Amino acid sequence: MNERIQELMLEAGKTIPGDKHIDANFCKKFAELIVQECMRMCEVTEMSFVTHDCDVEASGAITVKQFIAEHFGVDE
């Protein structure tokens, strides 16, 4: 994961009332899972568009998936 995930992790930790201890490994894994789920939803959307012969939209869904992967520094 890249620096943006770490920034979001710190931001999320600051919003937990009364929690003085933040488990960095948990937060990192949680963020990774969220990003992967977003990418998976792009794949689901792509398949739906392919099923309905909407090639341009399908291509857009894959482009969004690639942008998400690049932005957060994850492997596709």
pLDDT, residue 63, reads 95
Residue 18 banded pLDDT, cuts 50, 70, 90: low
Percent of the chain with pLDDT over 70: 83
**pLDDT tier at 7, thresholds 50, 70, 90:** confident
Write the DSSP string, the chain.
Answer: --HHHHHHHHHHHHTSTT-----HHHHHHHHHHHHHHHHHHHHHHHHHHHHTT-HHHHHHHHHHHHHHHHHHT---
pTM over 0.75, yes/no = no
Q: Do 50 and 58 form a contact (C-beta atoms < 8 A)?
A: yes
31 pLDDT more than 70: yes
The ranges assigned to domains in the chain are 37-76
Question: Where does the pLDDT of residue 27 fall: very low under 50, low under 70, confident under 90, or very high at 90 and above?
Answer: confident
